[in-house]
Homo-oligomer: A and B are copies of this chain.
Amino acid sequence: MSDPASDHVAPPRVPLEEMERFAFEALDAVHADAETSEALVRALSHASIHGVDTHGYRLLPHYLAGFAGGRLNPRPTPRLVHQKGGAAVLDGDDAHGSRATYMATEEAVRRAREHGVGAVAIRNSSHFGAAGAYAIDIAQNGMMGFAFCNSDPFVRLHDGASRFHGTNPIAVAAPTGEGDPWLLDMATSAIPFNKVQLSQSLGIPLAAETASDAEGRNVTDPMAAEMLAPLGGAFGYKGAGLAGISELLSTALSDAPLSTEIAPMISDDMSTPRGLGAFVLALDPAAFAGAEVFFGIVRRYLESIRSSATRPGGTVLAAGDREWAEAERRRTKGITLDPTAVEAMADFARRNDLAPLALSNA
């Protein structure tokens, strides 16, 4: 267990451009094709620049091992296996989740442009990183974007005593026609599992009603935490229900496995594809009351949040505001990595004869 004081040591930092340089070379070394490398770097940069470090470049070594081991297909041919009007099912051919999902958002936007609404359900994909990357991609096309996935189970049901749902995110982005969109990217669990791991390593208690022991009883001792609680505390049936939205959208439309049926992400088996599902939706404002009406109302909504009364000591933020501020800082100061990821990347560089990652503060 690391010393609590280590929390105060500045984390390793690297300029985004250098991180991307290294990622492209590393992906080349595992024979990833250009579409895969571009999609993966784009998704990881989205997460790392916006401060979502759990889903950022710390996962690169894990993904590289997946390509090397065969779990991930480095040169996939994702294709539509069902389609009708605004709807389609995309088979990812065991692509990295970013490769399959960016193809799905492109397809959803194209269909929404033609049919007003575009929805693509995905199967035979894999972990796609931060859901917000795909919602924002749709918003950057001027549409309201949604992204959902399920994943291997860490979260109990309300009053449950087993790991049932994944952290099953819901991500939604609404463009404003100028500047940053409104962006919600939330897990439907109370906290992410890495919060438990962090509390374990720092020896600090968990917040109440966020994690449970093996019998499903709430615990604050992180060493006793066996599963996460759904969002909502005493009203956890709502959090479990929200997880169910992501679960059903990601499985029942595309024929993908339920969270309880998915092989673990962290495992010795890096050769078997995991067959994950996901779902994206694009709504084109032009097919409703018009793009300018839409953008105007989203802007009015954002302004009204930002000028809203705050409680003593509080700060009111619109969904996404924290991320835009963090991106501003990180574009100057670089993204952060954790020491374990840095070591894994150094090791990968040595084994593959790549120029090592040049940290800003090594």
Q: Residues on A close to B: CB < 8 A? A: 81-89, 114-119, 121, 123, 144, 156-162, 164, 170, 172, 174, 182, 184, 186, 190-191, 207, 209, 212, 215-217, 231-235, 237-242, 244-245, 247-249, 251-255, 258, 260, 281, 283-290, 293-294, 297-298, 300-301, 304-305, 308-312, 314-319
Contact = CB atoms under 8 A, between A and B. Distances in A.
A161 B87 contact: no
Contacts of A118: 117
17 contacts: A83-B116, A83-B287, A85-B114, A85-B115, A85-B287, A87-B116, A87-B284, A117-B117, A119-B283, A159-B316, A159-B317, A160-B309, A162-B308, A216-B314, A217-B312, A253-B283, A253-B285
Contacts of A253: 144, 283, 285, 288-289, 294
Contact of A87 (B172, B235, B283, B311): B283
B248 A121 contact: no
A182 B301 contact: no
B301 A247 contact: yes
A116 B209 CA distance: 40
A300 B301 CA distance: 40
Given A161-B310, A288-B253, A244 B184 contact: yes
A284 B85 CA distance: 11
B85 A86 contact: yes
Given A87-B115, A294-B253, A159 B289 contact: no
A245 to B, nearest CB: 5
Given A119-B117, A158-B316, A251 B301 contact: yes
A52 to B, nearest CB: 14
A89 B190 contact: no
Copies assembled: 2
A294 B159 CA distance: 27
A190 B311 CA distance: 18
A255 B297 contact: yes
B308 A248 contact: no
B160 A310 contact: yes
B162 A309 contact: yes
A22 B317 CA distance: 48
A164 B215 CA distance: 39
Which 3 pairs between the two chains have the least Cβ-Cβ distance?
A87-B116, A216-B311, A159-B314
Contacts of A172: 241, 244-245, 248
A217 B289 contact: no
A288 B82 contact: yes
Contacts of A89: 288-289
A311 B215 contact: yes
A22 to B, nearest CB: 33
A305 B191 CA distance: 21
Given A184-B245, A237-B319, A301 B258 contact: yes
B255 A289 contact: yes
Contacts of A249: 144
A254 B288 contact: yes
Contacts of A318: 244
A141 B294 CA distance: 30
A285 B279 CA distance: 13
